[in-house]
Chains A and B, each alone.
Chain A
Amino acid sequence: MKADNTLMLAVKAFPLRRTLNEWLTIDAAVLIYMAKAIIAALLALWISMKLNLPDPRTAIFTVFIVMQPQSGLVFSKSYYRVLGTIAGVGMSLIIMGMFAQDPIWFIALFALWIGLTTAAGFKYRNFQFYGFVLAGYTLCIVALPVIETPLEVFDIAVSRFSEVVVGIMSATIISDVIFPRRLLDSLITSERERFHNVLSTLRDPQSVFAVFDENNPAVSRFSSGVVGLDAVRINSNFESGSDRRERQHYAHLNHEYMNLSTTFHSLKSIVASIKEGQKMELLRALESLYQPIVSALRTPPEGVLNPEDLNELVSELLEAKKEVQERYERERIVFEGEDEFTSAAYLIIRLLHELHIHCATYLSLLKLRLSGTSSREFSRVVRFSTHTDNVLVALAALRGSGVLLLSMMFWIWTAWPYATLTITMAVVIGLLLGTLPSPIDGVKDFFKGSIFALMFAAIYDFYIIPAYTSDLLTLGLLLAPILGFVGWMTTRPKLPIFSFGFVFMFMSQCALDPFYKIEPTKFLESSLAALIGVIFGGVAYLLVNFWSCSLTQQRVAKILRRQIVGACEGVLNTERSALESTGRDLVQQFSTQGRLNMRSSRLVFEWLLATLEIGRSILAIRRSAQRYSDLHITRSLESIKRYFETPSESTQTVLLVSLKETISSLRGGDKPSEKIPLKHFETLITEFSLIRTILLNSTTFPLSKEDSCR
Chain B
Amino acid sequence: MPLDITLFGVQMPTLLPIFVIATVVQILLDRIMSDGGLYNHVWHPGLFRTAVFVCLFTTPCLLIYR
Give A contacts to B, CB under 8 Å.
71, 173, 176-177, 180, 240-245, 372
Contacts and interface: CB of A to CB of B under 8 A. Distances in A.
A243 B37 contact: yes
A173 B53 CA distance: 11
Contact of A240 (B30, B35, B37): B30
A372 B37 contact: yes
A471 B20 CA distance: 33
Contact of A71 (B34, B37, B46): B46
A176 B50 contact: yes
Given A176-B49, A241-B39, 11 more contacts: A180-B45, A240-B30, A240-B34, A240-B39, A240-B45, A240-B48, A240-B49, A241-B45, A243-B37, A245-B35, A372-B37
A176 B34 contact: no
5 contacts: A176-B49, A240-B48, A241-B34, A241-B40, A372-B37
A241 to B, nearest CB: 3
A173 B50 contact: yes
B47 interface: yes
Interface residues of B, number: 14
A241 B49 CA distance: 9
B46 A244 contact: no
Contacts of B47: 176-177
A312 B50 CA distance: 43
Interface in B4-47: 30, 34-35, 37, 39-40, 42, 44-47
A176 B26 CA distance: 15
B45 to A, nearest CB: 4
A616 to B, nearest CB: 34
A176 B46 contact: yes
Considering residues A177, A241, A242, which has the most beta carbons from chain B within 10 angstroms of its beta carbon?
A: A241
Contacts of A180: 44-46
A18 B44 CA distance: 28
B34 A243 contact: yes
Given A173-B50, A176-B50, A243 B30 contact: no
Q: Which 9 A-B pairs have the closest CB atoms?
A: A241-B39, A176-B46, A240-B45, A241-B45, A180-B46, A240-B49, A244-B35, A240-B46, A177-B46
B37 A244 contact: no
A280 to B, nearest CB: 57
Contacts of B35: 243-245
A198 B12 CA distance: 58
Nearest to A179: B46
Nearest to B27: A238
A256 B47 CA distance: 35
Contacts of A71: 46
B49 to A, nearest CB: 5
Contacts of A242: 34
Contacts of A173: 50
B19 to A, nearest CB: 9
B12 to A, nearest CB: 9
A240 B27 CA distance: 11
A372 B44 CA distance: 18
A294 B42 CA distance: 44
B40 A372 contact: yes
A38 to B, nearest CB: 19
B43 to A, nearest CB: 11
Nearest to A79: B27
Nearest to B42: A241
A71 B46 CA distance: 9
A154 to B, nearest CB: 9
A244 B30 CA distance: 12
Contacts of A241: 34, 39-40, 42, 45
A177 B42 CA distance: 13
B34 A244 contact: yes
Contacts of B44: 177, 180
A170 B39 CA distance: 22
Contacts of B46: 71, 176-177, 180, 240
Contacts of B39: 240-241
A244 B34 CA distance: 8
A177 B45 contact: no
B40 A177 contact: no
Contacts of A372: 37, 40
A372 B40 CA distance: 9
A241 B45 CA distance: 7
